[in-house]
Amino acid sequence: MNPRITSIENSIAYDPGGRNIFGLLIADQLQLAAQSLRLARRVGIVSGFYIPDASVSETDGPPGAKIIGDALAKLGVQVDYITDRWNAAAFRALDLVTLVEPADYLTQARPTHLVSVERLGRGLDDRYHNMHGVDVTETTAPLDAIFLDAGHRGITTIGIGDGGNEIGMGKVFQEALASIKHGPTIATTVATDFCIVAGVSNWGAYGLVGALSVLTERDLLPTAADAARDIERLVESGAAVDGVTRRREATVDGIELAASLRMLENVRDQIAPSPLSRDRPILVGVLGYGETGRAAVSLLSQRGHRVCISEQASVTINRGSVLAGVETGGHTIEFLRGCDLVVASPGVRSDSPIRDQLHRRGIPVVSELEMAYQLCDRPLIAVTGTVGKRSTVELMTRLFQHAGRSLSIGGNKGKPLSELLMENKGEGPLVLAVSSFQLETVVHFRPDVAIILNIDDAHLDRHQTVSEYIRIKSRIFMNQSRGSAEGARSDRSDRGDVLILPFDDPRLRVLARKHRGRTLYMSTRQEVDRGAWLVDGQLEFNVDGSRERISLTPCETGATPLIRFPENLLASALTARLYGLSPQQIENAIRALTREGVEM
């Protein structure tokens, strides 16, 4: 599977409504749906969700349907838009010629595919319910019957939904019942061949068109300005309302328009070549001149790029820096509008006005971690988790050092990757402790070895739910693949990318289903098929099909290893084994650390 599409699939599962979207996601459905659409000749697109107490349509659905239709038309596919009489005004507002409750559509038009975007499917009681469990059958034409009929005719069907009650979500019916509010009442039984789950159904449309763009190697997405204009037209001319707030405003599911535009540009970032891949210097804006901003400026300048700095406060420029410009006292689009790329420091919020303005103008915005990764030619190990990131990379470094190997460490609460790249000219691996805040905005970031240590109920003030927190953590491996892909940086021959997960936590263990590389497990309770585990004072490995053992019994001084955080030790030892340290070298290193009184 294409890692770019896998990353898009993860991105559109951003879950602002707390509906456990990531838990409903079925891996690879986005790519399979897009691959199928490449063979389409005629496609019927169904949408429209009527809000009875507002007597109008909602803003989620028709804009996404239009985006998919426009993309298919560019590929030479004939498109039909289908809705019911209650939602016809919304389609007219978008200038879409629509078939209203067509009789015998499948027989007369003979489409090869049907696509549904935010359209209700019937529940167990054969009636239609909104997200609150309210029966809305009287204002919902049974357009899902077309999809049920299509299944008997060999017509490919695709459903896009965000809550469990939409056409297509019958494919995840059992999971929907268990994990969504009012699940037993609202969950639809109508499945489709492919089901795309997103935080907002319009975002699912962005994702599908993004996947088509990857497969066809052309940008089929609308501009941010055009996408915004469609939603605004839907409200102004179609009198549509936000389905959550019931207000007549250009928001979707209670989410500001700017958030949808950020998602659109996030998907575009996944399909477009990075400006840093060009064979010429580019102009890069750096938002914020703190520690990461300074490191970013230095690395970019060292690599020959022109840099301009935008900072709220006054700045003192590093000696020797040659800049294209500096602005202080605030960030302005006038100063940054000529940039090919903008690097945002952690202190510049993703929903800040300047970033929204950059998105509307199609200027890519990345983090320092992402920018530095794109300029990195060294093997990379990345460690994340709620706790233990920093202590794990430090332990890993000491294990390597005692075996005569070197690692350079940085990341969260340490040196930025940009600084590591300037300081270290060798060829050994770099190891980073990576936070969820950093992972939120990665695009191409792809470590050779990715490690997720643990998960806890932390940072929920920012991530809202544990499911969303796990989705963000999973971005550490979203770009990994089974083989050595173009541009991969590894001294581990052709083993491919590796993900290390804690087997003992079922919430994290299941992430292996979404991984495209090799997955190894670590356990403190039991033997695993592949990975490392602790049993009876022994550390055992099974990395390539053969078992190996390391003794953790007292060393010659009588000291016993101080193992307080076994996941840290398992992850460090397993990584050392992947990078060629023998079991004896690892055992000797652990014994040396034990003599030094190092806690593991």
Q: How many CA atoms lie within 13 A of 350 on its CB side?
A: 16
Whole-prediction pTM: 0.87
Highest mean pLDDT among 64-78, 425-439, 528-542: 64-78
Structural domain boundaries in the chain = 3-271, 275-371, 376-595
Contact 485, 494 (CB under 8 A): no
For residue 487, pLDDT beyond 50: no
From the CB of residue 414, how many other CB atoms can be counted at a distance below 10 Å? 17
Q: Which CATH superfamily is domain 3-271 in?
A: TON_0340 (3.90.1640.20)
486 pLDDT more than 50: no
Question: Which contiguous run of DSSP H or E holds residue 548?
Answer: strand 547-551
Least confident range from 258-262, 434-438, 492-496, 542-546: namely 492-496
Reported as a single tens digit per residue, the pLDDT across 248-269 is: 999 999 999 999 999 999 999 8
pLDDT (tens digit per residue) in 80-96: 999 999 999 999 999 99
The CATH architecture of the domain made up of 376-595 is: 3-Layer(aba) Sandwich (3.40)
pLDDT at 492: 43
DSSP state string for 75-122: TT-EEEEEE-TTTHHHHHHTT--EEES-TTHHHHH--SEEEEES-B--
Tell me which of 555 and 20 has the higher pLDDT.
20
Report the pLDDT value the prediction gives residue 283, as an integer from 0 to 100.
Answer: 97
Contact, 39 vs 158, CB < 8 A? no
pLDDT bin (cut points 50, 70, 90) of residue 488 is very low
pLDDT tens track for 561-591: 668 889 999 999 999 999 999 999 999 999 8
- Mean pLDDT across the chain: 90
Burial profile 494-511: b = 16 or more Cβ within 10 angstroms, e = fewer: ebbbbbbbbbbbeebbeb
- For the domain covering 275-371, report its CATH number: 3.40.50.720
* Residue of 182 and 355 predicted with greater confidence: 355
Structure tokens at 12: 């559109």
Place of tokens 């949408």: 47
Q: With residue 159 as reference, give the H or E element that holds it.
A: strand 156-161
pLDDT band at 558, cuts 50/70/90? low
CB 17 within 8 A of CB 183: no
Share of the chain above pLDDT 90, in %: 70
Whether the CB-CB separation of 502 and 454 falls below 8 Å is answered with yes
Which of 204-213, 292-301, 319-328 has the largest mean confidence? 204-213
